[in-house]
Structure 1
Amino acid sequence: MAGHNHGMTHSDPAFVKWNNMVVNRHKYFRWTPRTAWITFAYVVLVPSIVGTAGYMVDGKWDMRGKRRGDLISEF
């Protein structure tokens, strides 16, 4: 059956180094202007834009009970 000889293959050194970097990333993180801006963009800016767009189009289209040729816009 498959699955024998665990650990017998050689690991790629680049993959091992990358994996260690991913695991220990929190130890070496620093707040810089770039990381602060990226964090602000993904935590505040993007959700507010998506929320505003959703609020503006809320209720403008009705998809229930429409037949061919009916308009979906309510305004």
Structure 2
Amino acid sequence: MAGHDHIQALHQDPAYIKWNNMMVNRHKYFRWTPRTARITFIYVVAVPAVLGTLGYMTDGKWNMRGKRRGDLISEF
């Protein structure tokens, strides 16, 4: 219906096909380098540690529930 039987009706860009094949097979060509190890450490260890520390340090310091204009939000 409505022309769906023409699979390759449009010309495909060779650069896009090459990029798509690279994205699909990226796991085959991955290598651990100092740069990839550093980026992985930052996103797997450093960012969650910093966010967890900030969350732990500020836990319970502010209460937004039931406040009116002029009331303080700090609880310490």
CA RMSD of aligned residues (A): 1.4
Map of 2:63 onto structure 1: 62
TM-score (norm 2): 0.89
Map of 2:12 onto structure 1: 11
* CA shift digits 1:29-73 (9 cap, x unpaired): 111111111111110011000110111111010011111111111
Percent sequence identity over aligned pairs:
76
User: For the residues of structure 2 that align with 1:61 and 1:37, how far apart are their CA atoms?
Assistant: 35
User: For the residues of structure 2 that align with 1:25 and 1:46, how far apart are their CA atoms?
Assistant: 25
User: For the residues of structure 2 that align with 1:59 and 1:3, how far apart are their CA atoms?
Assistant: 61
- What are the ranges of 5 or more consecutive residues in structure 2 without an aligned counterpart? none
User: For the residues of structure 2 that align with 1:72 and 1:3, how far apart are their CA atoms?
Assistant: 62
Map of 1:49 onto structure 2: 50
The total of aligned residue pairs comes to 75
- What are the ranges of 5 or more consecutive residues in structure 1 without an aligned counterpart? none
TM-score (norm 1): 0.90
Q: Please state how far the C-alpha of 1:2 moved relative to its aligned partner.
A: 5.2
User: For the residues of structure 2 that align with 1:9 and 1:51, how far apart are their CA atoms?
Assistant: 50
